[in-house]
Structure 1
Amino acid sequence: MTHRIRKQPLSLCFVAILAVTLRQSCAATDAPPTAAPPTPTGQPERGYYNITNGNGTTCLMAYMGLQINVNVSSGTLNKAVWKVQNLQPNRTNSSGSCDSESSTLRLTDEQNKINLTFVFSMNATTNKYRLSEVSLSASWPDVKNPFSASNRSLDYLHGTAGRSYMCREQQNLPVTVNFSLNTFQLQVQPFNLTGDQFGTAEECQLDEDNMLIPIIVGAALAGLVLVVLVAYLIGRKRSHAGYQTI
Structure 2
Amino acid sequence: METQSSAAGRLPRPLFCALVLFLLEGSVVYQAYAVDVEVKDASNETCLFGKWIMNFSITYETEHNEYKNTVLTFPEHVRYDGSSCDNEISGPVLAIEFGEGHSWNISFTKTNDTYQGIISFTYNTNDTALFPDAKMKGLITTSTNYPLHPVNLDTVFICQNVDFVESGSVIQNFQNVVLEAFLPSGNLSDQKTVCDKDAVVTPEPAVPDTSSTDTTSITNTTFIINTTSITNTNTNTTSITDDTTEEANTTILSSRSISQPDEIPATGTYSVKNDTEVCLLATMGLQLNMTKTLMNINPNTTTASGRCGNRSSVLTLTDTDIVVVLTFAVKNTSFERFYLKAVDVTVTNPVNGTQFAASDNLTFWEASLGSSYMCRKKETLVVTPSCSLHVFNLRIQPFQVQNGQFSIAEECTSSDFLFIIPIVVGVVIGLLIVFAFVFYMIGRRKSDSGYQAV
Superposition TM-score, scaled by structure 1 size: 0.69
Any idea what SS the aligned residue of 1:244 has?
coil
Residue from 105, 111, 119 that aligns with 2:315: 105
Aligned pair partner of 1:151 in 359, 363, 367: 359
Alignment of 1:45-64 (within 5 A): 45-54=266-275, 56-64=276-284
Call closer, same or farther: CA 1:239–1:101 in 2, change over 3 Å.
closer
2:296 aligned to which of 61, 86, 93: 86
2:242 maps to 1:242: no
Partner of 1:198, secondary structure, is coil
The separation in 2 between residues aligned to 1:166 and 1:181, in whole angstroms, is 16
Partner deviation per Cα, 1:101-141 (whole Å, 9 max, x = no partner):
2211111112xx11111111224654222212211111346
Larger helix fraction of residues: 1
Displacement, 1:68? 0.5
Query: Which of 203, 219, 223 is the aligned partner of 2:411?
Result: 203
Could you tell me which runs of 5 or more consecutive residues in structure 1 were left unpaired when the two chains were aligned: 1-38, 72-81
Match of 1:131 in 2: 340
Query: Out of 62, 67, 84, which is 2:287 matched to?
Result: 67
Match of 2:108 in 1: none
The residue that corresponds to 1:217 in the other structure is 423
Q: Which residue in the other structure is 2:83 paired with?
A: none
The 8 Å contact of residues 262 and 294 in structure 2, kept in 1 or not, is answered as no
The structure in which a higher percent of residues are strand is: 2
Structure 2 unaligned residues grouped into runs of 5+: 1-259
Instruction: Give the secondary-structure state (helix, strand or coil) at the position aligned to 1:60.
Output: strand
Q: C-alpha distance in 2, partners of 1:123/1:210?
A: 29
CA distance in 2, matches of 1:170, 1:182: 7
SS of the aligned residue for 2:353 comes to coil
Tell me the amino acid that sits aligned with residue 202 of structure 1: E
TM score, norm. by length of structure 2: 0.39
Q: Distance in 1 between matches of 2:449 and 2:333?
A: 76
Q: Give distance in 1, aligned partners of 2:304 and 2:294.
A: 21
For 1:125 and 1:156, the matched residues in 2 are separated by 17
Structure possessing the higher relative contact order (Cα contacts under 8 Å, 6 or more residues apart) = 1
Please state how far the C-alpha of 1:41 moved relative to its aligned partner: 4.1
* 8 Å CA contact retained: 1:101, 1:124: no
State the 1:220 CA deviation.
Answer: 3.0
Code of the aligned partner of 2:450: Q
CA contact (8 A) 1:121 1:129 kept: yes
Deviation by residue 1:162-202 (Cα, 9 ceiling, x = unmatched): 01112222211111222111111211110011112211212
2:409 aligned with 1:194: no
Q: Could you give the per-residue CA deviations for residues 51-103 of structure 1, whole angstroms, max 9, x where no partner exists?
A: 1111x1110011111110111xxxxxxxxxx1011111122111111121221
Offset of residue 49 of structure 1: 0.6
Letter in 1 for 2:270: Y
- Counterparts of 2:349 and 2:295 in 1: how far apart (Å)? 10
Paired with 1:197 and 1:146, the residues of 2 have a C-alpha distance of 37
Query: Residue 341 of structure 2 aligns to which amino acid in structure 1?
Result: S
| Paired positions, count | 192
Letter of the structure 1 residue corresponding to residue 392 of structure 2: F
Q: Which has the larger radius of gyration?
A: 2
| CA distance in structure 2 between the aligned counterparts of 1:70 and 1:212, rounded to whole angstroms | 29
Aligned-pair identity (%):
32
1:175 paired residue number: 383
